[in-house]
């Protein structure tokens, strides 16, 4: 029963007061390029998820508090929350550098501009 | 033999009060004991050794341990609805009038027919059930299953609803100390003295752990005195919560700990009125100190399960605490110095000690010397090779011992020792269970031949015997250190430094491990070396698992069920690892361990439920009209957490009558439905239309203001997840309706998309399900009712067309009105603020009375829509159904560039032939209503297997059509129109014709008038 701190409203609550939203930073292909989505891209978006032994990046919602979605960096072995950050943000440069395996690969080209927001999604 | 010889004189039994005799029954026999006795000690004092029959072989079994590690003497206590099975007799505190029974025996404990299993045991090795009960298949249901059900389990379930009350309580503390033995008391004292909020919990009624049966002094006085002084100090301190009879049952992430407190089981008469029977403490601790002690292990020798064979610490505990001798003449079988304390204690109490049999070649420690000096015979380098039992295995009359050296070997030079009980010590295992619940790591200690705690990621420390520290000085030191370190961690600076007490204790020499004692005669048959007593697992079983290829410790555990009983292998795990190690040639650390899981000992279901029982089990959601429904024959059914009326029954009607009546009223006159539970979500903002275009399969940006449109919602896999009518209130303002069960889920779904994916959209989403009461006025006479009551807006076909809305008043009530129809009849849905709901409801019924208006419930609603072929999410859909499968491909936009599920829907297999498609079914016998979920087959055969091609999703009796109707999802259903399918049921084969899924008013004229 993890203890989680919401970075938006500051409440410290138990796991059951929050809603887990799975892996963070997954790109939805259709949002930006609905015309040209390969099967592999759609498959990865729907089904492929990382399962690291160590630093992981996740989405959570402050369900019983302010209702806001946020990101968390959590160690899957020690269960320690290393950092919380905004839902539209990337983790700090330090955390991106600390990531290993597939996460390290994912963050490699994003470390150069630390704290940068991901590309604007754009309306349709 | 019964009575006095087993109850020892004064000077023994420091926990019993001989001035307070108590009466109780065991298996119907009246017996007596004293206040302070446990059921185990009192029954044994009466000369009874047999407490039950073992699980598989039905061998007679007696008490083996002292406390919660007991795994043989499992009894049922209490009667009727208060009967509780599988309690450890060593933990049942005696009270006057206690009623207890033994378990797993028929007809009685003395003569149990199940003993035949023991004679046939060669057919019941480990895993026998994987290789039997297979042929013939027709025996599965009527022969094997009833037999297995009768044979399964140990105790009997209570025979009525539990009358007791249970509680749960949430607490935060700075330090939780688990175990109130010497180390735990030292730790708690240090933490308390530093001013922290402390909780100290111990599973026993009295604190001190094994202090009263361990030799040595603290500050020159017996250990008991030091314990009493610390308890007094803690009781007087204001910052420590002391919990006796409280098991720390489980340790979870971030120091969340579950404690199970028994308030009244020990003496029902002492329970304060209205107090709960059990209390579950949910504790969030800043620091945890584990001082859970250690558990003695038995030795695997032939027939080591006979009544009268006990752990050495349990024997001296029986003598010291309860003044009970397990027999008249005992043998101590030891591998260490610790067991000699038992020999000395027996001797001091005047109980015969025939011999101490020690596997070690040279037992030279101070305790061994003391034993010899007291006149006790010690035979070194020997082990027990056989038991001579009597009375069908119910007691012992002698043992055979033989010279011992590690490794297998033939038994030679046996000699016989007459005795009627045996005290065994195979060493001690630190009780590390709580350390491991949440990922704590262990390391194997070669000296102890046991596992000790290694690393943990949570704020948990360990002290004393649980840490593998068995000497008194070490326990005190570790306890104080842990308490002081915890205080420092909590405060951020050093707390009070405790004055260390001085411990004097006889040093103990080295012990030696023994995993297997060779037996006289043929191995295994008749010579069972038990490892797990509760599950009847022997050394031969573990070796069998290795031979059959179940080599890993996880496989061995599951194949043999070693360590899988309610004691979770407290006395069997390490011995089992020893056997695996011998059989595989791998050292124990390489064999590894299995995981310990909560609870440490069983906890009651009542405590888990707490107050979430009976009418408080789930939250109940009621509409504003609920009391009216209840007062007018409303027969409620749960719809999610809502209570909705299934129908309204008069005294003379059953459900069928009521439902049929309501359907016909809607078709012929006019009905009133409380639709308040349907989800309502307001979607507002400049990007509201664009947002809805992405959420639904069809287009909403083209919907005119004041109009309504039915929308389909898919998930990203392309499967239907919800549906409903959405109304455009203004250019930037929509009101979405969802299914009743989907309201909260869809609200969260919309928020997630807005916050995490399309966060540039300017849209607010506000769930308003509970803010509005909403009613459907449905039937040809609907307009008559509105006219009677008075409407501020026109309601003719031209003024208020189908699928549009109006805003105004009906009667005195402000409403939004929508022309939506789920029944297929002329229908107006009126939404009024919930506070006005009941008033509008009653006004409508009053106005409608002359037109025959009546309320109708959810079942009539479902039949009406089925007659029209409208789908219900969750009936026709099951999470794998696309819009095309239910014939609604026309609602999937071809123009929109992006909407949820679009890309997945383009996968070829979601459009391939062979998919299940929505059809209607008309049974050959119009009176027969197909059961929900009935399967259709392509090729009818006399018996299974047959290939099924689909199933019934909705099925009803239609009073409108005077015959049964059904909707089904059938492979290639559209291509089968006109054909007849077979539905094999248990009662016979039923045939039905495949038709279009519309049974009434196919053109949809009636809703459009």
Tokens matching residue A89: 């943000």
- Residue B162 has phi, psi (to 5 degrees) of -70, 115
Mean pLDDT of B515-543: 86
- To the nearest whole Å, the CA of A124 is away from the closest chain B CA by 7
Query: Which residues pair with residue B280 across a beta bridge?
Result: B168, B260
Q: Which whole-number Å values give the CA distances from B739 to B855, B873, B874, B902, B970, in the listed order?
A: 20, 8, 10, 22, 25
Domain B299-426+509-527: state its class: alpha beta
pLDDT of residue A4: 97
Supply the pTM of this predicted model.
0.91
Q: Is A35 on the interface with B (CB under 8 A)?
A: yes
- The interface pTM score, or ipTM, of the predicted complex is 0.93
Contact B751, B763 (CB under 8 A): no
pLDDT of residue B140: 87
Contact B672, B825 (CB under 8 A): no
CATH of B169-294+430-497, picked from 3.50.50.60, 3.30.420.10, 2.40.10.120, 1.10.150.170, is 3.50.50.60
Q: What is the largest CA-CA distance in chain B?
A: 114
Indicate if the pLDDT at residue A113 is higher than 70.
no
Q: Fold identical between B299-426+509-527 and B529-617?
A: no
Residue in chain B nearest A63 by alpha carbon: B748
Tokens matching residue A69: 């979605």
pLDDT in tens, B333-360: 999 999 999 999 999 999 999 999 999 9
Query: Which residues pair with residue B200 across a beta bridge?
Result: B177, B242
In sequence order, the 6+-apart residues with CB closer than 8 A to the CB of A37 are: A29, A30, B903
Cα–Cα nearest to B955, from B859, B881, B887: B859
pLDDT of residue A117: 54
- The distance from CA B296 to its chain's CA centroid, rounded to whole angstroms, is 29
CB contact under 8 A, A120 and B760: yes
Residue in chain A nearest B286 by alpha carbon: A3
Mean pLDDT of B224-252: 97
What is the CB-side half-sphere exposure of residue B311 using CA atoms within 13 A? 28
Domain B529-617: state its class: mainly alpha
CATH 3.30.70.141 fits B1-162, yes or no: no
Among the partner residues B252, B694, B716, nearest to A1 by beta-carbon distance: B252
Q: Compute the distance between CA of residue B877 and CA of residue B970 in angstroms, rounded to an integer.
A: 12
- To the nearest whole Å, the CA of A36 is away from the closest chain B CA by 10
pLDDT in tens, B805-857: 999 999 999 999 999 999 999 999 999 999 999 999 999 999 999 999 999 99
CB contact under 8 A, A34 and B897: yes
Contact B777, B827 (CB under 8 A): yes
Contact B843, B680 (CB under 8 A): no
Q: Which residues of B touch A80 (CB under 8 A)?
A: 457
CB contact under 8 A, A34 and B902: yes
Mean pLDDT of B779-798: 97
Mean pLDDT, chain B, rounded, equals: 94
Q: Is A32 on the interface with B (CB under 8 A)?
A: no
Contact B984, B940 (CB under 8 A): yes
pLDDT in tens, B360-417: 999 989 999 999 999 999 999 999 999 999 988 899 999 999 999 876 677 888 999 9
Tokens matching residue B874: 């969750």
Write down the number of H helices and E strands in chain B. Answer: 25, 50
Q: Is B172 on the interface with A (CB under 8 A)?
A: no
Strands B198-201 and B166-178: what pairing? Answer: parallel
What is the CB-side half-sphere exposure of residue B827 using CA atoms within 13 A? 25
Can you list the positions of beta strands (E) in B733-869?
733-738, 764-767, 772-778, 805-810, 813-818, 827-833, 854-855
Fold of B877-995: Elongation Factor Tu (Ef-tu); domain 3 (2.40.30)
Residue with tokens 């007849």, as numbered in its chain: B980
Q: Which site among B441, B751, B755 would you substitute to test the A interface, given the most A Cβ atoms closer than 10 Å to its Cβ?
A: B755
pLDDT of residue A121: 42
Q: Is A5 on the interface with B (CB under 8 A)?
A: no
Mean pLDDT of B449-457: 92
pLDDT in tens, B672-701: 999 999 999 999 999 999 999 999 999 999
Residue in chain A nearest B283 by alpha carbon: A1
pLDDT in tens, B38-58: 999 999 999 999 999 998 899
pLDDT of residue B68: 95
Q: Is B758 on the interface with A (CB under 8 A)?
A: yes
Contact B365, B509 (CB under 8 A): yes
CB contact under 8 A, B758 and A31: yes
Tokens matching residue A62: 């402050």
Residue in chain A nearest B752 by alpha carbon: A69
pLDDT of residue B408: 62
- Return the minimum-mean-pLDDT range out of B126-140, B603-617, B686-700, B829-843: B126-140
Pick left, alpha or beta for residue B303 (phi over 0 → left; psi -120 to 50 → alpha; otherwise beta).
left
Q: Compute the distance between CA of residue B970 and CA of residue B982 in angstroms, rounded to an integer.
A: 12
Query: Which residues pair with residue B791 across a beta bridge?
Result: B810
Q: Which domains does chain A have, with CATH numbers?
A: 3-107 (3.30.2270.10)
Among the partner residues A21, A30, A121, nearest to B902 by beta-carbon distance: A30
pLDDT in tens, B732-752: 999 999 999 999 999 999 999
CB contact under 8 A, B254 and A3: yes
pLDDT of residue B357: 97
- Residue A75 has phi, psi (to 5 degrees) of -85, 120
CB contact under 8 A, A21 and B904: no
pLDDT range class, residue A118, cuts 50, 70, 90: low
DSSP string, B26-70: ETTEEEEEEET-BHHHHHHHTT----EE-TTT--EE----SSTT-
pLDDT of residue B129: 78
DSSP string, B462-506: E-GGGGT--SHHHHHHHHHHHHHHHHHHHHSS--PPPPPPPEE--
Helical ranges in B356-471 per DSSP H: 366-373, 433-437
- Is B243 exposed, middle or buried (CB count within 10 Å of its CB: 0-12, 13-18, 19+)? buried
Q: Is A49 on the interface with B (CB under 8 A)?
A: no
CB contact under 8 A, A61 and B752: yes
Q: Compute the distance between CA of residue B301 and CA of residue B123 in angstroms, rounded to an integer.
A: 22
Q: Is B685 on the interface with A (CB under 8 A)?
A: no
The domain locations on chain B are 1-162, 169-294+430-497, 299-426+509-527, 529-617, 877-995
CB contact under 8 A, A34 and B254: no
Q: Using the 8-state DSSP alphabet, how is residue A90 labeled?
A: P
CB contact under 8 A, A69 and B457: no
- To the nearest whole Å, the CA of A61 is away from the closest chain B CA by 9
């Amino acid at each position: 029963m993890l203890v989680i701190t919401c970075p938006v409203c500051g409440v410290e609550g138990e796991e059951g007061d929050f809603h887990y939203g799975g892996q963070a930073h997954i790109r939805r292909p259709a949002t930006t390029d609905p015309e040209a989505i390969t099967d592999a891209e759609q498959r990865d978006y729907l089904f492929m998820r990382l399962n690291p032994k160590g630093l992981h990046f996740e989405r959570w919602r402050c369900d019983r508090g302010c209702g806001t979605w946020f990101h968390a960096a959590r160690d899957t072995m020690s269960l320690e929350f290393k950092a919380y950050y905004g839902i539209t943000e990337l983790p700090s440069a330090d955390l991106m550098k600390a990531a290993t395996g597939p996460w390290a690969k994912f963050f490699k080209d994003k470390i150069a501009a630390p704290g940068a927001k991901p590309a604007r999604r754009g309306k349709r | 033999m019964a009575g006095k010889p087993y109850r020892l004189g004064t000077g023994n039994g420091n926990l019993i009060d001989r001035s307070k005799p108590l009466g109780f029954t065991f298996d119907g026999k009246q017996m007596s004991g004293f206040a302070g006795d446990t059921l185990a000690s009192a029954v044994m004092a009466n000369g009874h050794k047999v407490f039950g029959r073992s699980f598989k072989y039905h061998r007679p079994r007696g008490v083996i341990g002292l406390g919660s590690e007991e795994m043989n003497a499992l009894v049922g206590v209490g009667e009727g609805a208060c009967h509780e099975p599988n309690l450890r007799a060593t933990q049942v505190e005696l009270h006057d009038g206690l009623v207890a029974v033994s378990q797993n025996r028929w007809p009685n404990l003395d003569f149990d027919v199940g003993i035949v299993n023991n004679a046939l045991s060669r057919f019941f090795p480990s895993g026998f059930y994987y290789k039997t009960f297979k042929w013939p298949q027709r025996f599965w249901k009527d022969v094997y299953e009833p037999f297995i059900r009768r044979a399964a389990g140990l105790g009997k379930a209570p025979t009525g609803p539990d009358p007791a009350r249970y509680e749960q309580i949430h607490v935060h503390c700075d330090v939780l100390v688990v175990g109130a033995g010497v180390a735990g008391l030292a730790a708690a004292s240090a933490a308390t003295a530093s001013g922290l909020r402390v909780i100290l919990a111990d599973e026993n009624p009295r604190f001190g752990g094994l202090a009263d049966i361990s030799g040595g002094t603290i500050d020159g006085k017996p250990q008991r005195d030091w314990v009493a002084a610390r308890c007094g100090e803690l009781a007087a301190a204001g910052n420590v919560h002391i919990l006796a009879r409280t098991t720390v049952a489980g340790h979870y992430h971030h120091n969340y700990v579950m404690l199970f407190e028994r308030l009244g089981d020990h003496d029902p008469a002492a329970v304060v009125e209205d107090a709960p029977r059990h209390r579950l403490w949910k504790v969030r601790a800043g620091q945890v100190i584990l001082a859970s002690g250690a558990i003695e292990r038995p030795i695997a020798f032939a027939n080591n399960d006979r009544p009268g064979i006990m752990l050495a610490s349990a024997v001296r505990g029986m003598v010291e605490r309860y003044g009970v001798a397990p027999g008249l003449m005992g043998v101590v079988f030891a591998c260490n110095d610790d067991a000699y304390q038992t020999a000395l204690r027996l001797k001091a109490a005047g109980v015969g000690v025939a011999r101490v049999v020690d596997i070690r070649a040279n037992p030279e420690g101070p305790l061994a010397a003391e034993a010899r000096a007291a006149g006790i015979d010690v035979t070194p380098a020997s082990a027990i090779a056989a038991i001579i039992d009597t009375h069908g295995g119910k007691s012992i009359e002698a043992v055979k011992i033989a010279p011992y050296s590690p490794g297998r070997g033939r038994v030679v030079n046996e000699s016989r020792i007459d005795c009627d009980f045996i005290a065994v010590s195979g060493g001690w295992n630190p009780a590390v269970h709580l350390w491991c619940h949440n990922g704590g790591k262990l390391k194997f200690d070669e000296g102890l031949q046991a596992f000790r705690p290694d690393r943990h990621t949570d704020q948990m420390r360990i002290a004393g015997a649980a840490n593998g520290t068995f000497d008194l000085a070490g326990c005190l030191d570790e306890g104080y250190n842990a308490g002081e370190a915890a205080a420092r961690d909590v405060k951020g600076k050093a707390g009070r430094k405790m004055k260390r007490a001085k411990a004097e204790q006889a040093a103990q020499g080295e012990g030696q491990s023994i995993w297997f004692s060779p037996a006289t005669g043929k191995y295994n048959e008749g010579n069972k070396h038990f490892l797990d007593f509760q599950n009847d697992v022997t050394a031969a079983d573990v070796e069998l698992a290795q031979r059959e290829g179940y080599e890993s410790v996880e496989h061995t555990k599951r194949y043999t069920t070693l360590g899988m009983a309610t004691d979770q292998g407290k006395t069997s795990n390490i011995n089992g690892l020893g056997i695996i190690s011998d059989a595989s040639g791998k050292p124990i650390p390489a064999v590894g361990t299995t995981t310990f899981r909560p609870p440490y000992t069983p906890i009651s279901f009542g405590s888990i439920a707490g107050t979430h029982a009976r009418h408080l089990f789930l939250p109940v959601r009621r509409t504003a009209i609920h009391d009216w429904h209840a007062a007018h024959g409303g027969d409620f059914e749960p719809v999610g957490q809502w209570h909705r009326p299934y129908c309204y029954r008069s005294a003379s009607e059953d459900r069928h009558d009521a439902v049929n009546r309501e359907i016909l009223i809607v078709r012929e006159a006019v009905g009133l439905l409380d639709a308040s539970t349907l989800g309502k979500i307001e979607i507002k903002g400049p990007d509201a239309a664009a947002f809805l275009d992405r959420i639904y399969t069809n287009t909403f940006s083209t919907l005119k203001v004041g109009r309504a449109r039915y929308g389909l919602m898919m998930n990203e896999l392309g499967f239907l997840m919800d549906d409903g009518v959405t109304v455009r209130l203004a250019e930037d303002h929509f009101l979405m309706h969802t299914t009743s069960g989907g309201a909260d889920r869809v609200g969260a779904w919309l928020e997630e998309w807005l916050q995490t994916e399309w966060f540039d959209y300017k849209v607010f989403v506000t769930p308003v399900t509970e803010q509005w009461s909403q009613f459907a006025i449905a039937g040809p006479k609907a307009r008559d009712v509105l006219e009677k009551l008075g409407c501020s807006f026109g309601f003719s076909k031209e003024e208020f067309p189908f699928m549009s809305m109006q805003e105004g008043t009906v009667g005195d009530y402000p409403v939004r009105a929508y022309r939506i129809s789920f029944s297929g009849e002329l229908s107006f849905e009126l939404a009024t603020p919930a506070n006005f709901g009941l008033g509008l409801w009653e006004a409508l019924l009053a106005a409608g009375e002359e037109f025959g208006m009546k309320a109708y419930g959810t079942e009539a609603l479902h039949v009406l829509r089925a007659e029209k072929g409208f789908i219900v999410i969750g009936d026709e859909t099951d999470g794998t159904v696309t819009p095309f499968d239910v014939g609604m491909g026309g609602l999937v936009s071809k123009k929109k560039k992006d909407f949820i599920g679009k890309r997945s829907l383009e996968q070829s297999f979601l459009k391939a032939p062979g998919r299940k498609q929505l059809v209607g079914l008309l049974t050959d016998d119009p009176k027969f209503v197909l059961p929900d979920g009935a399967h259709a087959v392509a090729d009818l055969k006399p018996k299974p297997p047959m290939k099924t091609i689909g199933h019934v999703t909705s099925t009803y009796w239609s009073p409108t059509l005077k015959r049964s109707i059904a909707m089904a999802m059938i492979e290639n259903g559209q291509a089968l129109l006109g054909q007849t399918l077979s539905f094999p049921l248990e009662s016979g084969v039923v045939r039905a014709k495949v038709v279009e899924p519309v049974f009434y008013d196919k053109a949809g004229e009636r809703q459009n008038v």
